[in-house]
């Protein structure tokens, strides 16, 4: 009985992977808004009712793709932070930022799914929150480690931001000063803005040396958070 169950589980894993691979192909060709379970089933030679046993709705399939993408970029960020564990904080921040950029350039359609325009009619469930937090938590860990090592210069904090900064620090960045949390959130948004500008064509005919620009900007953002040091080239 266990052998049969194991074979069924392997078959389910394989079919689930095939469904998601075909869905990613559709994302690249048609965009997330046009993702269709029927079209996925047709391309895989499945009847729609069979596919519904794996993903009951389009939104369930979208959620699975979103979670996979967040987990993939999160794993890249965590790996880069681990490999740069012994370098100065600014260099570690830049290493993670560059790894995230490289993932986005290599997976433009998955990047667009999680950081691009919202999909009409889709509301992300709580299942996506943990995976979506992984990259941000890596940057928070870098700042937290610098603060605990007395290697963080406190950034300014506008009086009107204090309540938000304190709430954010208590909610997801314990042991990080509120001023640094506010600066970190702004820097995080700007990093992804730079990646999106490059990925979606806003730098075309404007910036050619995009990697050096990104590295310089990432280092400046690291220092805006209060991290010390000068990033190496």
Q: Which CATH number describes the domain made up of 1-56?
A: 1.10.10
Give Cβ neighbours of residue 167 (< 8 Å, ≥ 6 apart).
none
pLDDT of 5 above 80: no
Q: Are 135 and 77 in contact (CB under 8 A)?
A: yes
* 60-225 belongs to CATH 1.10.357.10: yes
**Cα(189)–Cα(163) distance, integer angstroms:** 19
Task: Give the number of C-alpha atoms closer than 13 A to the C-alpha of residue 144, restricted to the C-beta side.
Answer: 12
Residue-wise pLDDT tens digits, 107-125: 999 999 999 989 999 999 9
**Cα(175)–Cα(177) distance, integer angstroms:** 6
pLDDT of 32 above 80: yes
Q: Are 97 and 223 in contact (CB under 8 A)?
A: no
All structural domains of the chain with their residue ranges: 1-56, 60-225
- Distance, C-alpha 80 to centroid of its chain: 13
The alpha carbons of the chain give a radius of gyration, in whole angstroms, of: 21
What is the three-class DSSP state of 152? strand
Q: Name the pTM for this structure.
A: 0.92
What is the three-class DSSP state of 56? coil
**Cα(98)–Cα(112) distance, integer angstroms:** 17
**Cα(55)–Cα(19) distance, integer angstroms:** 9
* pLDDT at 3 (0 to 100): 59
* pLDDT at 50 (0 to 100): 87
């Amino acid at each position: 009985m266990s052998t049969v169950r194991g074979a069924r589980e392997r078959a389910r894993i394989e079919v689930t992977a095939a469904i998601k691979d075909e869905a990613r192909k559709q994302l690249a060709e048609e965009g997330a808004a046009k993702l269709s379970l029927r079209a996925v089933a047709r391309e895989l030679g499945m009847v729609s009712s069979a596919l519904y046993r794996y993903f009951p709705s389009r939104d369930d399939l979208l959620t699975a793709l979103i979670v996979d993408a967040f987990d993939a970029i999160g794993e890249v960020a965590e790996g880069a932070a681990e490999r740069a564990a012994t370098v100065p904080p600014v260099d570690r921040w830049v290493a993670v930022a560059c790894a995230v950029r490289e993932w986005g350039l290599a997976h433009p359609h998955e990047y667009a799914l999680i950081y691009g325009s919202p999909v009409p009619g889709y509301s992300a469930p709580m299942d996506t929150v943990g995976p979506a937090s992984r990259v941000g938590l890596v940057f928070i860990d870098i700042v937290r480690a610098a603060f605990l090592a007395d290697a963080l210069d406190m950034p300014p904090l506008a009086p009107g931001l204090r309540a938000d900064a304190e709430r954010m620090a208590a909610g997801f960045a314990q042991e990080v000063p509120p001023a640094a949390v506010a600066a970190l959130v702004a820097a995080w948004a700007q990093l992804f803005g730079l990646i999106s500008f490059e990925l979606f064509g806003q730098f075309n005919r404007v910036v050619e040396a995009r990697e050096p620009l990104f590295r310089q900007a990432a280092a400046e953002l690291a220092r805006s958070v209060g991290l010390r040091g000068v990033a190496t080239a």
